[in-house]
Chains A and B, each alone.
Chain A
Amino acid sequence: MKLEILNALDGASILKELGANAKKSTAASALAKIKVPHKKSEKYRYFDIEPLVSKDWTVFHPESQEVQSKGKKIVFQDGILANRGDIEGVSVELGDFSDIDGAHFDGLYYLSHLLAKKTVIIRCSKDASFEIEHNFSQSNVLINYRVAIFVDANTHCQIYESFKGEAEGSFVLGGYDIFAARDASLKFIKSHTLEASGYTPVWSSRYKVDSNAFFKLSSFDFAKSNGLNIFKAELKEGANFDASHLLYGTNKAKCGIVSEIEHEGKSSVSSQNAKSILDNGARGIFDALIRVQNSAKWTKAHQNSKAVLLEKGAYMASKPQLEIYIDDLEASHGSTTGQLDEQALFYMRSRGIKEEDAKKMLILAFAHEVVATVDDEYLANKIYAEFERVYYGYYELDCLKTCENCQDTTTGL
């Protein structure tokens, strides 16, 4: 099916067209109102959404398969729950999810809810640390799935999200609805490498952070092809949301973050820091809004984007936004796009380091600041290694072509 055809329909007809559960009628009317994204959608201004919504997709709907229950991982295969894991205090069920956001800004959030017959519901009732693995193998299909995560009150969890497989030509549409209850904490770490000939993911999520809960999001996207992360976070009184994003884009990939952080409760705190390294024709997107409602006094909100353009064809679109409706707060944002620090570069070269090596060292240092936000040392090392693999992988090839006797001493590879 072509997703864009839904834009001609009203809520009831969308529901019928997609054969969705009548309970999702609110989502359908919301979609009818804000539309499936198209060329002129403000939130998709810098991302190529048109080819994805205009293509005639085969929606991937396999027969239900057996779900395993072993190990410390929850595993998805092409959007289907394959292994619910065996993690103490963490239940994983397929079910109907009714708590769809009534006021999300993104059409694909609603569309993916409407397309999903069932939602995978993960409930954390005890402190836990586990991994969610996504595997993709189906080419040229539309893969759609939704996951909801509930972290119970005063429960503390860490979730690491990893990805495997290429699924050439597929469109992966999905996302999370995450609820961090009062006094809960969640560290959510995502590391995603998008290969050049893989699928295109658009994740559209909603995070609800209840009173005094803490949500820490660290996302690492190493992209050789297009991908977009969309989320909305709602912060209740005293809630704390801390997001760090590292993006490395190359090979003309268009990728990045589109987000809205909504301060609803008093004394809520948010901080969002994005770093982008753009190479070889890639486009980085940081389109991030912080809205502070009139009810949210004593809010502290800060956002920052730093981007480095490594070569001429690279492109950064930075759009940090503040929308403020109360005077008693602290809010600021900053954005810089430029090149590596010339002084630092010169200093290193004057100590005898080759310019290329000096640049690499500075890039690694730049990236490392984001990796350092992950306090699980094992994961931090793993992510850093992955960044090096993707980053040097590209340079190594380049290097082999251009020079002989090349011995890269900084990588130790």
Chain B
Amino acid sequence: MSKVLEIKNLKAKIGDKEILKGLNLNLEEGKVHAIMGPNGAGKSTLSKAIVGHYDVEVTDGEIIYKGKNIVDEEPEERALEGIFLSFQNPVEIPGVNNAYFLRTAVNARRKHLGLPELNAAEFLREMRAKVEELGMKKELINRSLNEGFSGGEKKRNEILQMMMLQPDVVILDEIDSGLDIDALRAVSEGINKSKDGKRSFLVITHYSRILDYIKPDYIHVLKDGKIVKTAGPELVAQLEKEGYGSFEEN
């Protein structure tokens, strides 16, 4: 099985505080990896480090994506190469039209891949189909980006973008937070449909509920800035029973 993303001895800090303390993680092509861990373990920091967020300073280690260390790459370069983060709290951008924004992003990616850009009609056709699939309100596509969206609408909008952008690695940061059951179903269906045997997923969560909907191949336990345990899906049950306390660093 080929590794699409390989994180080696990653150390990172936010401000003066070291959060990731030598983290190792391999993501396999076509697989669903779940990262679980208590609050403050460094889960969101890990996702931010992978996409190059300005809050996070990587002090040591490597993030090898498709054979290349991307630690120093600009965020848009990583995105164009196929890394997608579904944000925990997607930001609101007043006045920027949702559809216009997404078309710009889709065409930037297509251009990067050497594909012809989509014209407005082609794009809208595709987008409308996906909007329907996700059970999103149609008017949301013509509103300002995330502005005034409910929590569920924002998350559906993230998944819509994911489906349109066709990334290779999808990081879902607390995708289930703030979702009601309908939204949770729609969002996980969208994700499950995007599994094509090649695309890899990194599901970051501290509840196991989402894993009933998105079946993981691997579970990693993140604690105090390191992965302390990696196992198959059976680990979920153990975590539910015993909590994170029993996992000490190997």
Do chains A and B make direct contact within the complex (CB under 8 angstroms)? no
Residue positions of B touching A, CB distance < 8 A: none
